[in-house]
Amino acid sequence: MTNQQQAEFDRMRGYYLSQGEKYSFAELWPRAMKARLQLLDALEGVSEEQASFKPGPNDWSIREVALHVVNGSRSNRRLVIALSSGESGDSSNIDPPKRTTEATVDGLRAQLRDDGIDWTAAIPTLPERPPLAPTARHSMFGQLHARAWYLFQRTHDIDHASQIDANKKAAGYPGAKVQP
């Protein structure tokens, strides 16, 4: 890892911690939901062929990205609920590895939509200002408390919406308009 990468991770960690300490879940909710809507918009109108396209042999398809986000988001929601209750939580599956799936892109989009609804339903059940301890470790950002993990989901959704958009702009993307 370069010094520049570490500085960026430290900056992001500071953002997660400070904003999570400053704002309640309800106050953070609009940011998180805007990010989820951005992700859902990125998946809108993607065909099955496009969802399976990989820009390169080691790249992720849109379908793999969507599965990764939905699985990671479900794990993160369980972690946020546990930490908010003062319990320790398992952060080991927050960033699940690339997996193939036969799920349709519309099915994955529906799962992401429903997961966003589940996040929204969870917010009123959580303490407005849960304790800042316990924490759980993130591989890049270190120890994070419940609201910091909630904000992490926001940036995770944004990052992967950008990844989907990059796939759509890659050479060879099915159905892409060729620039003259």
Distances (CA, A) of 20 to 32, 84, 146, 152: 12, 12, 8, 10
Per-residue pLDDT, 128: 83
User: Would you say residue 36 lies in a domain?
Assistant: yes
Q: Is position 6 within any domain?
A: no
Record the pTM.
Answer: 0.93
CB 64 within 8 A of CB 106: no
136-138 and 142-144 strand pairing: antiparallel
Q: What is the pLDDT of residue 176?
A: 67
- Both tokens of 62, joined, read 């849109």
pLDDT confidence of residue 178: 53
Query: What would you report as the CA-atom Rg of the chain, rounded to the nearest whole angstrom?
Result: 17
- Bridge partners of 142, per DSSP, are 138
Rounded distance between C-alpha atoms, residue 117 and residue 67, angstroms: 17
Query: Is residue 57 a part of any domain in this protein?
Result: yes
- Give the position of tokens 């959580």: 126
What is the structure's pLDDT at 116? 97
Domain count, the chain: 1
Determine, yes or no, domain membership for 4: no
Residue 3 lies in a domain: no
157 within some domain? yes
Distant-in-sequence, close-in-space partners of 35: CB < 8 Å, separation ≥ 6: 153, 154, 155, 157, 158, 161
Position 95 scores a pLDDT of 86
Q: Would you say residue 19 lies in a domain? A: no
Name the residue range of residue 135's domain: 27-169
Indicate the SS3 state at residue 73: helix
Residue type, 95: D
Give the tokens for residue 7. Answer: 């500085």
Q: Distance of CA 39 to CAs 70, 110, 166, Å?
A: 11, 12, 13
Instruction: Give the burial string for 115-142 (b: 16+ CB within 10 Å, else e).
Output: bbeebeebbeebeeebeeebbbebeebe
Looking up residue 86, the CATH number of its domain turns out to be 1.20.120.450
Whether 155 maps to a domain, the answer reads yes
Q: Using CA atoms, how far apart are residues 65 and 161, in angstroms rounded to an integer?
A: 9
pLDDT digit string (tens) for the chain, length 180 residues:
799 999 999 999 999 999 999 999 999 999 999 999 999 999 999 999 999 999 999 999 999 999 999 999 999 999 999 999 999 988 988 888 999 999 999 999 999 999 999 999 999 999 988 999 999 999 999 999 999 999 999 999 999 999 999 999 999 999 866 554
